Structure 1
Amino acid sequence: MSLLGAKKGKELGFSDFVSAAVRGLFMPYFSLPIIVLGVAVGYATDLVLKPILVDGFENVGSIGAMAGPIATASGISIITGIFIAVYGQIYGALATSAKAGTPTIGEAFAVIGQRGLSVFAAGLLVTLATVGIFIVGLVVVIGGAIAANAGGVTTGLFILFLVVFIYLSMRLGQAGWFAADGMGAIDAVKASWSRTQGHLMKIFFWSLGGAVVFTLVGTLVGLLTSSLPTAIGSSIGTGVGLVFTYASGAVLYRRITAK
């Protein structure tokens, strides 16, 4: 089974963007590592934080006693999230490559050894650029609101920085995919900026439409897993959502880079 179905390049449309997400669920080498890791990290985080959540913050004893479990849970989530992002993008790139069929987990890990650091670095650069401008915007907006007490100006500034954040996210959001395809991190960021030119409306509306569809599917998954323990059920839902994200993201990447 291919994420692209029988189509390729410029033939790909929004329906392929959505259907690839579903096909990704039925590609076990792609979906199972992501979902299993999602469930594992959800369960581990629940175990670490459960004493605080059950006993209450006031009964833990000290700030230090709270900081340890919270830091551990955060570390587990961050490290696992990074690995899932790297695996999802590299497997998605391989599964949509003209040179590959359906990659195995072993083949994906072999490529992760070669390109994983570049994918991580590209993602980090994009995060610093996009989140950085958003944080700067918040500081400016809050500072302006406190200093001038001008609600209209504050709202306008917030909208401006939000638009800049969305714009940068669309222009730089393909960097991880270029890195997964073999580019270095900096070249991947440059390529994303260059190749997304002329595709911003497609990126925006495909992403928006996909979010609506995937949210509906996620709600259905939540209903189906409602009988499971909360940590496991929500983690399965998150894992399915991540599969959708990387499967559909691979299709969008191939459509943008089609010649």
Structure 2
Amino acid sequence: MTRLSVNINKIATLRNARGGNNPDVIKVALDCERFGAEGITIHPRPDERHIRYQDAYELKKVLTTEFNIEGNPEGSFIKLVEDVKPHQVTLVPDAVDAITSNAGWDTIKHQAFLKETISNFKRLGIRVSVFVDPHPKFIEAAATAGADRVELYTEPYASKFHSNKTEAVKDYIQAAKCAKELGLGINAGHDLDLFNLNYLKTEIPFLDEVSIGHALVCDALYYGLENTIQLYLRQLK
């Protein structure tokens, strides 16, 4: 079964736009769980422009499904993850000023750094996933660095899906097979939506988890949050 982890960053963006606590990020996360989501993902950034570090501490107290914190493993992020101890940390090489994640790790170039970082998190009992482009060489290096899982960066898949879905998914199938052969779990995320999700799942039936935020929150404006989560779960099952 492929788990759906809802990324609630965009809920926090809406909250922060006016100050105060509307919408209530913690309540929305709990509602996502109640409506069937099997995990909650957050991606705090140093400027706290959406998820705030304090949100992570508050979420850890109340979540009953899997908690995934993703981000660039620099000083403040590392401390946050060490304090909160989520079920999973996803390492993403995004720049401080990045609007959103736009590339996976060069796990060969950054092998030594990733190996040390992964080891430190795993010592705390945290599962570590590494955000990668769908190339076997990067997946192999993620495995040698000690990762438990890789998260396949799916923006290129999503951008090509409507013009040629067979071509769009080809590299992802090969990457997923490579990861599976190496004993790595396989996550996927970025620009997945109600149109392209089912095809990815069909072609890679052994996906462990997808994390979806932007598209899901946009769909919820039209369909409602509960119905939207059910629609996404249907695409996975």
TM, length-normalised to structure 1: 0.26
Structure that is richer in helix per residue:
1
- Which structure would you say has the larger Rg? 1
Structure that is richer in strand per residue:
2
Relative contact order: is structure 1 or structure 2 higher (C-alpha 8 Å, sep ≥ 6)? 1
